[in-house]
Amino acid sequence: MPPAASRTIRIGLVQSACTADREANIAQAIAGVAAARADGADVVCLQELFAGEYPCQAEEHDRFAEAESVPGPLTERLAAAAREHQVVLVGSVFERRSHGLFHNTAVVLDTDGSLAGTYRKMHIPDDPHYYEKFYFTPGDTGFVSVPTSQLQVGPLVCWDQWYPEAARLTALAGAEVLFYPTAIGWLDGEEQLHAEQYESWDTMLKSHAIANGVFVVAVNRTGREGPLRFWGASVVYAPNGQRLAVAGHDAPAVLVVDCDLSRIEWSRTRWPFFRDRRIDAYAGLLARWGEA
């Protein structure tokens, strides 16, 4: 097989601040898709649950009314945007699967508007102001690579960012870029931890790129919602850990970044971590703790 030829994909990131006005949130996201495409984007990723304010700061049954089926009205609007602008679009939806059964779901739309694939968030947090276990059932899609007309999309969602297993299995499925729609921020009263929290998050993203020889894209929301200040800083890492672009913490932004996918093979042949994996020795990963 000949060496991988240069294949550059332009990836757009739409970082937004949301309000209680659902229609305005959707409109700004779609405007961000248009702006990214105008700057040459081939693939665009939106932030986690972009259609509304982050719903999980409290356990409120009324919030379930915000959920909808996939495919459904919001997915169709994303499909129309993907088709109009001829981009692959990664979106994030509060999915109503059945009565009392909800997921935090990433949808991948191809350039013709078709639903290329879905991923249901596997790791569900339960922390102060991130009460996602009240709302979301853990996903059952497994870790997937979604083939599209532009590239192999590896959809993951927010809390998945902290799990090397999620990144590794998605890369092993064939993903060329790991996409993380995200809603992560600082909590009032923890100011002494803010720098440490952000740096830990950023380091994890960089490490996934290096360990798996893939591009990593995280699109985080910005702005204040109650006691949470979402820290933005949407970012792209190359397979060798080079930071290609990063947005600011406090303002909406649209970034478009060139990603030469031939760098995947370049990195994996120089740092052959996949080659040297000891798959015969990893059974312990399936245990909850130690040898139990």
Determine what percent of the chain falls in helix, strand and coil, rounding each to the nearest 5. 30, 30, 40
154, 140, 245: which is closest to 208 by C-alpha? 154
Task: Tell me how far apart the alpha carbons of residues 15 and 17 are, in angstroms, rounded to a whole number.
Answer: 7
Which stretch of DSSP H or E encloses residue 30?
Answer: helix 22-38
- Going by the DSSP 8-state scheme, the letter that residue 27 receives in this structure is H
Give the residue numbers marked as catalytic. 48, 121, 158
88 CB burial (10 A radius; 0-12, 13-18, 19+): buried
Residue with tokens 């049954």: 61
Look at residues 215, 223, 207, 210 and name the one whose alpha carbon lies nearest to residue 179. 215
Report the alpha-carbon distance of residue 111 to residue 85 in Å, rounded: 8
Name which of 56, 11, 16 is nearest 177 in CA terms. Answer: 11
What is the residue whose two structure tokens read 């100011």? 191
Tell me which residue of 114, 50, 39 sits closest to 83, measured CA to CA: 114
DSSP secondary structure string for all residues of 111-170: TTS-EEEEEE------BTTB-HHHH-PPP-S-S--EE-SS-EEEE--GGGGG-HHHHHHH
Using CA of residue 235, residue 209, residue 146, residue 150, what is the dihedral sign? positive
Q: Read off the DSSP letter of residue 207.
A: H
